[in-house]
């Protein structure tokens, strides 16, 4: 047929709409369905003009359904993390516990006492909801929650030290993911950065000699995502606090990730705990809510009550405040630590504490299921990482399923429902059991079989 004849075979929009499932317009709305139908016809018209044949009416209807479904699919989706990176920044960091998820759901669809005192019947403060739990767990005088740890550091510097000097070791002028640099934050806050020591060695005398009448604080920044080895020296927090307090200065300890539990329990290097920093006398300690704490994205600040009060009343605090859903998830997360069941209830700690034989058994069950479906695969030994800027270089022995990455298996899995994200090694797709929640095993296997057969 000629191009003109093929173009005349294209159905009218009304006819194409009638070929769609009767409930599609009810679910998606007439305007969206009509726009998709017109777009599909326009694409077909362009293809015919390039020499293609006119698609069948059923094929065109299928394309319309696909376009509608793609439009209605949320951009932000739940995925299966089979990468072996426990706190995966690109995949949303820490999964919430069942209690935290339930707490969010309970508050999401109705009203709450976010800023209402149920005892007095008067206005309350959202800052009070997490403060008591933070005080109980860390030993600090007071606590405050903002939207992430970068915000916590920025608020502290802006509210307390604008126009004053803040002394920091040159080796701690770090950059973390997303281009977040401590020197840039200091400058943006209005505080004046004073670098001391060298890249690899800083001594107490370096701080002491740098103190002037304009100095307001000494700051320590934890090496969250890298490690210094070899000929190095850093001043301990206790010594930094002693020097600062004899000079009437404030000590800010930015832990980055921060943890309430000892990571050495899992054979990993010890990460500084928040309680240790508070006990050492740090005036303010900042850390993250969605890393080793295992909760939602949040920046947590604990320390002296008078300093926390100044942060709460600063105008910037309103711009950085968190909403009811974050507070609901955070409170539920903190209660796991109060009840001392964090190791068994929070997914981050569950994954770190998972026993290798149990992981191997799960992978073997995966292998058997895929082998029965005719998919070549093998169980292999791998190393998982903590991730999220925590415990750099530290790994945990794990087990993974290895599948040939035939014709882009991983790419197809990322486009599936639910999307599955794995990793590659030696031209194979690897799926690490440590970061796949046990409840996701069936979905993972269904996705693998479907993607292989596509």
Q: Per DSSP, what are the bridge partners of residue 193?
A: 166
Looking at residues 110-114, what average pLDDT do you find? 95
Is there a single domain that holds both residue 206 and residue 326?
A: yes
175: pLDDT strictly greater than 60: yes
Q: Which of the listed residues 294, 313, 345 is the one where a domain comes to its end?
A: 345
Is there a single domain that holds both residue 188 and residue 287?
A: yes
Is there a single domain that holds both residue 427 and residue 391?
A: yes
Is there a single domain that holds both residue 380 and residue 314?
A: no
How much of the chain exceeds pLDDT 70, in percent?
96
Report the pLDDT value the prediction gives residue 2, as an integer from 0 to 100: 87
Q: Under DSSP, is residue 303 helix (H, G, I), strand (E, B) or coil?
A: strand
Place of tokens 């209605």: 72
Report the pLDDT value the prediction gives residue 297, as an integer from 0 to 100: 96
Q: Per DSSP, what are the bridge partners of residue 144?
A: 301
Rounded distance between C-alpha atoms, residue 23 and residue 191, angstroms: 60
Whether 413 contacts 447, CB under 8 Å: yes
Phi, psi of 155 (to 5 degrees): -65, -45
CATH number at residue 315: 3.40.640.10
Domain count, the chain: 3
Report the pLDDT value the prediction gives residue 227, as an integer from 0 to 100: 64
Q: Confidence class of residue 247 from pLDDT cuts 50, 70 and 90?
A: very high
Q: Which of the listed residues 313, 345, 377 is the one where a domain comes to its end?
A: 345
Rounded distance between C-alpha atoms, residue 247 and residue 299, angstroms: 29
Rounded distance between C-alpha atoms, residue 137 and residue 334, angstroms: 8
Number of helices (H) and strands (E), helices first, in the chain? 20, 15
Report the pLDDT value the prediction gives residue 6, as an integer from 0 to 100: 87
Is there a single domain that holds both residue 288 and residue 340?
A: yes
Phi, psi of 400 (to 5 degrees): -140, 160
Report the pLDDT value the prediction gives residue 346, as an integer from 0 to 100: 98
138: pLDDT strictly greater than 70: yes
Is there a single domain that holds both residue 282 and residue 153?
A: yes
445: pLDDT strictly greater than 90: yes
Token pair, residue 377, equals 């695969």
Is there a single domain that holds both residue 294 and residue 332?
A: yes
Report the pLDDT value the prediction gives residue 73, as an integer from 0 to 100: 87
226: pLDDT strictly greater than 70: no
CA distances (Å), origin 401, targets 365, 409, 435: 10, 13, 12
Q: What is the pLDDT of residues 298-317, one digit of tens each?
A: 999 999 999 999 999 999 99
Q: Confidence class of residue 184 from pLDDT cuts 50, 70 and 90?
A: confident
Q: What is the pLDDT of residues 6-44, one digit of tens each?
A: 899 999 999 999 999 988 988 899 999 999 999 999 999
Looking at every residue in the chain, the average pLDDT score rounds to 92
406: pLDDT strictly greater than 80: no
Q: Confidence class of residue 234 from pLDDT cuts 50, 70 and 90?
A: confident
Report the pLDDT value the prediction gives residue 19, as an integer from 0 to 100: 93
Report the pLDDT value the prediction gives residue 178, as an integer from 0 to 100: 62
Looking at residues 153-157, what average pLDDT do you find? 95
Is there a single domain that holds both residue 224 and residue 373?
A: no
Q: What is the pLDDT of residues 195-215, one digit of tens each?
A: 998 878 889 999 999 999 999
Q: Under DSSP, is residue 86 helix (H, G, I), strand (E, B) or coil?
A: coil
What does DSSP assign to residue 11? Answer: P
What does DSSP assign to residue 222? Answer: -
Q: Which of the listed residues 345, 365, 388 is the one where a domain comes to its end?
A: 345
Is there a single domain that holds both residue 354 and residue 341?
A: no
Q: Confidence class of residue 265 from pLDDT cuts 50, 70 and 90?
A: confident
Whether 385 contacts 410, CB under 8 Å: no
Q: Give the distance, in angstroms, between the CA of residue 334 and the centroid of all CA atoms in the same chain.
A: 17
Q: Confidence class of residue 171 from pLDDT cuts 50, 70 and 90?
A: confident
Report the pLDDT value the prediction gives residue 12, as an integer from 0 to 100: 94
CATH number at residue 395: 3.90.1150.180
Cβ neighbors of 453 (< 8 A, separation 6 or more) are none
292: pLDDT strictly greater than 60: yes
Is there a single domain that holds both residue 121 and residue 210?
A: yes
Is there a single domain that holds both residue 11 and residue 120?
A: no
> Measured on CA atoms in the order 374, 376, 380, 386, is the torsion positive or negative?
negative
Rounded to 10 degrees, the C-alpha dihedral 422/425/427/433 comes to -40
Q: What is the pLDDT of residues 409-426, one digit of tens each?
A: 999 999 999 999 999 998
Rounded distance between C-alpha atoms, residue 316 and residue 153, angstroms: 12
Q: Under DSSP, is residue 390 helix (H, G, I), strand (E, B) or coil?
A: strand
Q: Under DSSP, is residue 212 helix (H, G, I), strand (E, B) or coil?
A: coil
Looking at residues 267-292, what average pLDDT do you find? 94
225: pLDDT strictly greater than 60: no
Domain interval for residue 34: 3-72
Q: Confidence class of residue 229 from pLDDT cuts 50, 70 and 90?
A: low
Is there a single domain that holds both residue 314 and residue 384?
A: no
Rounded distance between C-alpha atoms, residue 432 and residue 359, angstroms: 9
């Amino acid at each position: 047929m000629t191009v003109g004849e093929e173009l005349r075979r294209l159905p009218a929009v009304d006819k194409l709409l009638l070929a769609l499932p009767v409930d599609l317009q009810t679910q998606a709305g007439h305007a969206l369905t009509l726009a998709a139908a017109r777009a599909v016809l326009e694409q077909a018209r362009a293809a015919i003009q390039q020499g293609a044949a006119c698609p069948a009416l059923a094929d065109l209807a299928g394309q319309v359904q696909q376009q509608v479904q793609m439009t209605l699919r949320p951009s932000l989706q739940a995925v299966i993390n089979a990468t072996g990176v426990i706190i995966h920044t690109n995949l949303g960091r820490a999964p919430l516990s069942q209690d935290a998820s339930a707490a969010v759901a309970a508050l999401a669809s109705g009203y709450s006492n976010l800023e209402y005192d149920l005892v007095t019947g008067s206005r309350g403060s959202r800052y009070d909801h997490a403060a008591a739990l933070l005080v109980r767990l860390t030993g600090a005088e007071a606590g405050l929650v903002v939207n992430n740890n970068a915000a916590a550091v920025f608020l502290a510097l802006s509210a307390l030290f604008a126009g004053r000097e803040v002394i920091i070791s040159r080796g701690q002028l770090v950059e973390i993911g997303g281009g977040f640099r401590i020197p840039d934050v200091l400058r943006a806050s209005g505080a004046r950065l004073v670098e001391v020591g060298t890249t690899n060695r800083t001594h107490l005398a370096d701080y002491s000699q740098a103190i002037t009448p304009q100095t307001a604080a000494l700051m320590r920044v934890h090496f969250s995502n890298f490690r210094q080895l070899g000929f190095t020296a850093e001043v301990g927090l206790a010594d930094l606090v002693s020097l600062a307090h004899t000079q009437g200065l404030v000590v800010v300890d930015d832990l980055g990730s921060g943890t309430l539990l000892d990571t050495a329990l899992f054979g990993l290097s010890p990460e500084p705990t928040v309680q240790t920093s508070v006990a050492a006398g740090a005036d303010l300690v900042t850390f993250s809510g969605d890393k080793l704490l295992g909760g939602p994205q949040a920046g947590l600040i604990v320390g002296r009550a008078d300093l926390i009060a100044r942060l709460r009343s600063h105008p910037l605090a309103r711009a950085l405040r968190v909403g009811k859903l974050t507070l609901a998830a955070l409170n539920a997360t903190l209660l796991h630590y109060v009840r001392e069941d964090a190791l068994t209830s929070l997914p981050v700690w569950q994954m770190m504490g998972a026993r290798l034989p149990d992981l191997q058994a799960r992978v073997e069950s995966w292998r058997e299921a895929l082998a029965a479906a005719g998919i070549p695969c093998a169980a292999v030994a791998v190393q998982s990482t903590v991730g999220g800027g925590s415990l750099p270089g530290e790994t945990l022995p794990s087990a993974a399923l290895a599948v040939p990455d035939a014709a882009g298996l991983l790419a197809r899995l990322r486009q599936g429902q639910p999307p599955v994200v794995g990793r590659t090694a030696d031209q194979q797709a690897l799926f690490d059991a440590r970061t796949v929640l046990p409840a996701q095993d069936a979905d993972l296997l269904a996705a693998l079989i479907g993607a292989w057969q596509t």
